[in-house]
């Protein structure tokens, strides 16, 4: 076994266990047809739900430290002002360096670290290779035995086998062999859906859940580029990847969208549009004072800033501020 195969082996095992487990559940508890494509697609959806649910604690932690960033906002602003308008590489580097040092010093690092990615990528590869093996009717490394593997490989959704990709059908078409239009239609639909969900997620963040400080940062510009780069990536992978893998990705994207929606609605970034909207919503219901201590901290500065300042005459103002001598 090669190196990558060895690393992926335990992950493939877990992916197979989850797939087979959900498949068994849908087969026995809901008496669905075990060979049907829908049963296998739902098993993939179940797999995504488990993986993403396991990542929730990391996500919550990230949100928490983003909240704590409010405390260091003035210092962050100072750094950004220092490098304002300096676009050369060295200034950018020095700015990132100082920002990171600030995060470390104050324990407010808002970034999620590379671990979630590092975990998800092999799961994706593992699913890819599980599906690829199933295409050739091969048994998996563990719970997915030969019988189930064959069944998975030949499962069809609306007459489109899950192991097929847009590219494989395109190849058959150009060779003049019989091909499946359904596979192409499903793949194209999924690319559109993935792009749409990604756009909605990103637009929600950018338009509603960003503080003015973040909008002024170079990080923001990078995220904008991402917004237009991703549809290309989706289109490319939508053509090359088997339908089963695409279902995993699509479900994962939809999860991200829903998660982002909930976060923006219930724990918005302080100072952002969404935070103002939430305050208004709560005020209308007469529930502005939250039970959560965290939230009060967030909203207090807002409340004082909304209060109207009583105009004061020149002489009185002098009196209020006290003698200056």
Which residues would be at the binding site for another protein (CB under 8 A)? 58, 61-62, 96-97, 99-101, 103-104, 107, 109, 111-118, 219, 222-223, 225-226, 229-230, 233
Closest approach of another protein to the CB of residue 60, in Å: 10
Taking the complex as a whole, how short is the minimal distance between the CB of residue 191 and another protein, in angstroms? 15
The phi, psi pair for 2, rounded to 5°, reads -75, 175
Q: Render the burial of 262-271: b for 16+ CB within 10 Å, e for the rest.
A: ebbeebbbbb
Closer to another protein by CB, 66 or 169: give it: 66
Of 182 and 223, the one with the shorter C-beta distance to another protein is 223
- The two beta strands, 156-157 and 160-161, are antiparallel
CB of 298 to another protein, least distance (A): 22
Least distance to another protein, CB of residue 53, Å:
16
The contacts found for 114-122 with CB under 8 angstroms, 24 or more apart, are 115/58, 116/55, 116/58, 119/55, 120/51, 120/55, 122/7, 122/8, 122/11
Closest distance between another protein and the C-beta of residue 42, in Å?
Answer: 27
Given the complex with another protein, which of 76 and 134 has the nearer CB atom? 76
**Whole-number minimum distance, CB 132 to another protein, in Å?**
21
Shortest distance, position 219 Cβ to another protein, whole Å: 6
| Cα–Cα dist 74/312, whole Å | 29
CB of 65 to another protein, least distance (A): 9
C-beta atoms surrounding 90 within 10 Å? 8
**Cβ closer to another protein: 60 or 296?**
60
C-alpha closest to that of 36 among 117, 132, 154: 154
How many CB atoms are closer than 10 A to CB 182? 17
N- to C-terminal Cα separation, the chain:
84
Alpha-carbon distance of 295 to 288, in angstroms, equals 10
- The nearer residue to another protein, 62 or 132, going by C-beta atoms, is 62
Q: Kindly tell me which of 62 and 91 has the beta carbon lying closer to another protein.
A: 62
Rank residues 109 and 182 by Cβ distance to another protein and give the closer one.
109
Show Cβ contacts of residue 52 under 8 Å, excluding neighbours closer than 6 positions: 252, 255, 259
Is 184 within 8 Å of 169 (Cβ atoms)?
A: yes
The backbone torsions φ and ψ at residue 180, rounded to the nearest 5 degrees and listed phi first, read -105, 115
Q: State which residue, 75 or 223, has the beta carbon closest to another protein.
A: 223
């Amino acid at each position: 076994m090669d190196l990558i195969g060895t690393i992926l082996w335990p992950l493939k095992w877990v992916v197979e266990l989850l797939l087979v487990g959900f498949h068994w559940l849908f087969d026995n508890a809901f008496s669905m047809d075990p060979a049907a494509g829908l049963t296998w697609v739902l098993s993939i959806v179940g797999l995504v739900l488990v993986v993403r649910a396991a990542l929730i604690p990391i996500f919550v932690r990230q949100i928490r430290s983003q909240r704590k960033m409010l405390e260091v906002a003035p210092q962050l602003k100072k750094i950004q002002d220092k490098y304002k308008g300096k676009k050369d590489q060295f200034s950018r580097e020095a700015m990132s360096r100082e920002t990171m040092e600030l995060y470390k010093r104050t324990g407010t690092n808002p970034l999620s670290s590379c671990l979630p990615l590092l975990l998800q990528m092999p799961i994706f590869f593992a699913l890819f290779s599980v599906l690829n093996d199933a295409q050739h009717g091969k048994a998996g490394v563990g719970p997915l035995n030969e019988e189930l593997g064959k069944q998975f490989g030949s499962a069809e959704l609306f007459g489109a086998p899950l192991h097929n990709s847009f590219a494989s059908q395109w190849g058959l078409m150009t060779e003049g062999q019989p091909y499946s239009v359904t596979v192409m239609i499903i793949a194209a639909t999924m690319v559109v859906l993935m792009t749409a969900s990604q756009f909605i997620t990103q637009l929600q963040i950018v338009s509603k859940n960003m503080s003015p400080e973040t909008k002024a940062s170079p990080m923001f510009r990078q995220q904008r580029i991402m917004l237009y780069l991703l549809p290309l990536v989706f289109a490319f992978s939508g053509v090359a990847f088997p339908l089963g893998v695409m279902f995993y990705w699509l479900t994962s994207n939809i999860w991200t969208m829903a998660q982002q929606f909930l976060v923006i609605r219930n724990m918005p970034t302080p100072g952002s549009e969404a935070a103002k909207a939430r305050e208004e919503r709560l005020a209308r219901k007469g529930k502005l004072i939250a039970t959560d201590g965290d939230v009060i901290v967030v909203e207090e500065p807002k409340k004082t800033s909304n209060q109207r300042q009583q105009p004061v005459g020149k002489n009185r103002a002098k009196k209020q501020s006290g003698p200056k001598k």
